[in-house]
Amino acid sequence: MKKLLLPLLLLAVGPALAQLPALHATPEKNDDTIVLTLTDEPRVAWQRAAGVLAARGYTFRYSDADLLALSTDFIDLKSTSIIAIFVQVQDNQLLLRGRWITGSDLTTNSRAVRRGGFLGGTSSEWPELEAIAHQLGSTAGYYESEAE
């Protein structure tokens, strides 16, 4: 059932990406999305993102060469919580988001990675998203999606 729902979810994200809200140059507390402006062709950027994630130890749960979207399995990184990454490329933009586990049940206890931490400052998961974005290069913009 999960494998069936994920492609449908990704299909819904495509049209939403075309209507991104205004991006800010620096991340704000509730931002959960990094958008990179690309200089590469979309397919090349998507492949490069997959290479960066694989080099960082992620394995892939879903990948679609037509939608230029991919998501990773949850992984326990030493530097952060248990997280998974989502990437989608459309036109000249790469959308990067993460989810982190708040308990042992992957389906009900995952939350969007947001810049702001629980007690202020930066969340422990956000630096991983920024590190991935940095490896991908180009200009970054940030916004708060409707994800929970």
Q: Enter the tokens of residue 41.
A: 């062709």
pLDDT tens-digit readout, 97-111: 999 987 665 566 788
Q: Round to whole Å and give the CA distance between 54 and 105.
A: 24
Number of domains in the chain: 1
104: left (phi over 0), alpha (psi -120 to 50) or beta: alpha
CATH code where residue 131 lies: 3.30.310
pLDDT tens-digit readout, 38-83: 999 999 999 999 999 999 999 999 999 999 999 999 998 776 689 9
Q: Round to whole Å and give the CA distance between 142 and 144.
A: 7
Q: Round to whole Å and give the CA distance between 98 and 86.
A: 6
The domain in which residue 38 lies consists of 27-143
In a domain, 9, yes or no: no
Q: Round to whole Å and give the CA distance between 25 and 36.
A: 11
Q: Enter the tokens of residue 29.
A: 């507390």
